[in-house]
Structure 1
Amino acid sequence: MAIAQKTFSDYLDDAKEMASEVSKVTDRIERERMIPPEITNQMKDRGLFRLLMPRSLDGAELDHPSFLRLVFEFGKADASVGWCFNQNNVFATNSTRLPEKASREIWTDWRNVVTNGPPTRDTLATPVDGGYRLTGRWNFSSGSPHATWLAALTPIKDSNPSEIRVLLIPKNKATMIDTWDVHGLRGTGSHGFEVNDLFVPGHLSYNQSDTPREPGSLYKINTTLFFCSGFATVALGAARTALDAAVEMSTSKIPTNAPGQVTLRDMGTVQRQIGQAEAIWGAARAYLHENHSRLWESANKDQPIPTADRIGVRLASTHAIRQAAEVVDIAYNLIGSTAIFASSPVQRRFRDIHVITQQVQGQMYHYDTAGQFFLGMEPQGSI
């Protein structure tokens, strides 16, 4: 089905179907540290990496609240898949900042996916006739196994004032570096890459502050808020699965030395913890939804998005990530030694969620940024 003919209902069906397939191969995703090609190729062919791209580039230009519903489906199935789904779709919004020639060169092929990662300190692009000579190394490139293009954020040599640009390079022109030996989100394949004196044509670059060509509501919101709200949704999905698994296990597990040999389900302390976890999860999700809805409403108006709305999503996203981790911790502690085995769905979400909290969007200093705003100060963080 052509992407222009697909409705949100079609995409939701696609996401649920693909999430079901993902659930069957989670052990493989964990072991191989990547999403299997037969999964990512189906996602590409269904347009599931083009959801936030403009219709002018054969994208879905799906409204962001609907997009987050799809993120949640993948986040429940496997946090690594949800992470890459969000990361790769959000980055594709930059197709509106690149020159149109470059965007069509990259994204005309539905199987092309771009990933990015933060640079190390020694990256540099030197201006030359027709483009740049690029040298450097970049890490944490989520989805790099299924990506076909890489985005390299880099300073431009001798620029005045100092300029930072993003240069797009085909993956086959870079050296991939296997760095992703981690305990959680293993399936994201967030490896590093490096290039040495590689020529990059000038049209394959842009400044992150460039104004998008497209007028749609999606392109009034900066990628930081897309990243944080999407990753928060992944965290909530992982926490939902962990808590549901703990509830299911509680109906059959009889703890060693439990008085009366009762199941976990019949113990008052377990009942209390489940109630608390549900309240924590529900409150975090509602707070994120409330603030994200306000942001989206503002994006649909013909005016700049208020700082208060951007702060709201920034705060709610980090808070959702931290609260999701608390929910997973409750589930982990509740089921005892069952949680320590690799086969446990709770154990995997425990590792995944404690990688998500360490990523920039889950960091505690975002509370500082929000606090500065509420105290009448100029917010110092990224919003």
Structure 2
Amino acid sequence: MTDVAVLPLKPDPLAQARKIGPSVGAVADEIEATQEIPEPVVTALHESRLFRMLLPRSVGGDQVEPWTYLRAVEEVARHDGSVGWNVFVSNSSALIAPFIPIDSARAIYGDPRGLVSWGPPNQHRAIATAGGYRVTGEWHFSSGRRQASWIGVHCQVIEPDGSLRLNRFGRPTVRTLLMPKEQTTAIHDWHTLGMRGTASEGYSVRDVFVPEAFSGTREDPTLRRDRGPLYAFTMQGLYAVGVAGVALGIARAMLEAFVALAAEKAPRYQGRLADNPAVQSDFARHEAALGASRAYLVEVLEEAWESADDVEPLEARQRARVRLACSHAIQNALDVADRVFKATGTSAIFLGTPFERRFRDIHTLSQQIQSRDAHFEAAGRVLLKGDPDGTFMG
């Protein structure tokens, strides 16, 4: 008998998200109150590999297609927006792996629970020195920091001669420096309207030396080590996919909760909500808005994937279409959530209802950079005029 090679099963993140979702939902109140994902849920998340969907296969990741990633994030967020957000952020930070030496990436992700968390760039700068960099400063909005084992800082670089390091585009380069979490100090400042469970707190760093091998720059996709269409997408583009997944998941959960409410609630002087033709019409429109937003985004991601190059990043028009589809999905999800909240009347205003936390969560999400209305302008400019000055990064 001829031996037949058995190929490993392709990971199914959506199935894993559906499996773990009820456990996440069961502890959503605890996550909101403590800003911690409790055991055994955090272990189940690691074992499900949902934190490793965008991590390269070369360092033990699953390197899944972006539309698969979208659906898995959406499903987790349907049960709890904060956990969905931290799943998206952990995957986003894993995108640094193709831009650092493979031994460094394996040192971080060789640990089955290895995760990176970071805050956005700010005014702090690293000082280039022999063999690496020295850095001092503080950063904020570090989602998932409590689950992370490594912390990153994004900063410009001052050369030994005092000059500012420039990238190949002639602009100040932004370099990511990675260090064990123990070298940082938490700043417990995450006191927010919504998304409380993300614990997106700050951290400070004081005169930490980071070896060159644990640094890289995310701004130039041509520098990536790992090939394949996933890494032709810009990091900002994949960030937007993750935020869109969270937004769609939260809005979907509110719409599902409304179905249950409408079957029972009869507002004063009116019949049951589910029997009201206006409510029926609005519900159908909400259902179509969410489904159409996802379908459009999936279509754009699939088209971008097919056109992706192993070396060059996606061209500007494709990046703009990804940005547009993500912004459209986020905006529609927010609109549906608002309309559902309004339709529930006073049933939505009390703490602990299926609506109030999700309403707070999606409005917190709406203030994040990926939700800016200005993205429509940027995408429209590129689609109408191209990107003659090369400033659109997607």
Residues 226 and 175 (structure 1 numbering): CA distance in 2 closer, same or farther, change over 3 Å?
same
2:212 is matched with 202
1:1-26, Cα deviation, whole Å (9 max, x unpaired): xxx944334x4332222112101111
| Letter paired with 2:95 | T
1:120 and 1:138 in contact (8 A); partners too: yes
How far does residue 95 in structure 1 lie from its aligned partner after superposition? Answer: 0.8
| Letter paired with 1:229 | V
TM-score scaled to structure 1, two decimals? 0.92
**For residues 391 and 314 of structure 2, what CA distance do their matches in structure 1 show?**
18
**1:7 aligned to 2:16?**
no
| Letter paired with 1:18 | I
2:84 is matched with 82
- 1:354 corresponds, among 363, 379, 384, to 363
How far does residue 164 in structure 1 lie from its aligned partner after superposition? Answer: 2.0
**1:29 aligned to 2:31?**
yes
How far does residue 232 in structure 1 lie from its aligned partner after superposition? Answer: 0.4
1:119 and 1:136 in contact (8 A); partners too: no
Matches within 5 A, 1:138-149: 138-149=139-150
| Letter paired with 1:237 | G
1:257 is matched with 269
**1:169 aligned to 2:145?**
no
1:166 and 1:205 in contact (8 A); partners too: yes
SS at match of 2:51: coil
1:91 and 1:223 in contact (8 A); partners too: no
**For residues 70 and 143 of structure 2, what CA distance do their matches in structure 1 show?**
18
| Letter paired with 1:90 | S
1:170-228, Cα deviation, whole Å (9 max, x unpaired): 11110111111111111111001111111111211112235111122211111111110
| Letter paired with 1:77 | H
Structure 2 residue runs of 5 or longer lacking an equivalent are 1-6, 167-171
How far does residue 100 in structure 1 lie from its aligned partner after superposition? Answer: 1.5
**For residues 133 and 285 of structure 2, what CA distance do their matches in structure 1 show?**
55
Matches within 5 A, 1:24-173: 24-121=26-123, 123-157=124-158, 158=162, 159-161=164-166, 162-173=172-183
1:228 and 1:314 in contact (8 A); partners too: yes
2:277 is matched with 268
2:157 and 2:174 in contact (8 A); partners too: yes
**For residues 98 and 312 of structure 2, what CA distance do their matches in structure 1 show?**
19
Deviates more, 1:146-155 or 1:292-301: 292-301
**1:324 aligned to 2:333?**
yes
How far does residue 151 in structure 1 lie from its aligned partner after superposition? Answer: 0.9
1:291 is matched with 300
How far does residue 240 in structure 1 lie from its aligned partner after superposition? Answer: 0.8
2:86 and 2:144 in contact (8 A); partners too: yes
**For residues 175 and 288 of structure 2, what CA distance do their matches in structure 1 show?**
44
1:244-290, Cα deviation, whole Å (9 max, x unpaired): 111210110111232xxx11112233222212212322222222122
SS at match of 1:49: helix
Residues 5 and 43 (structure 1 numbering): CA distance in 2 closer, same or farther, change over 3 Å?
farther
**1:314 aligned to 2:332?**
no
Q: CA RMSD in A?
A: 1.9
How far does residue 304 in structure 1 lie from its aligned partner after superposition? Answer: 5.2
How far does residue 301 in structure 1 lie from its aligned partner after superposition? Answer: 7.3
**For residues 89 and 35 of structure 1, what CA distance do their matches in structure 2 show?**
17
**For residues 100 and 315 of structure 2, what CA distance do their matches in structure 1 show?**
26
Residues 69 and 273 (structure 1 numbering): CA distance in 2 closer, same or farther, change over 3 Å?
same
Matches within 5 A, 1:357-372: 357-372=366-381
TM-score scaled to structure 2, two decimals? 0.90
1:190 is matched with 200
SS at match of 1:62: coil
Deviating runs (4+, > 6 A) in structure 1? 300-303
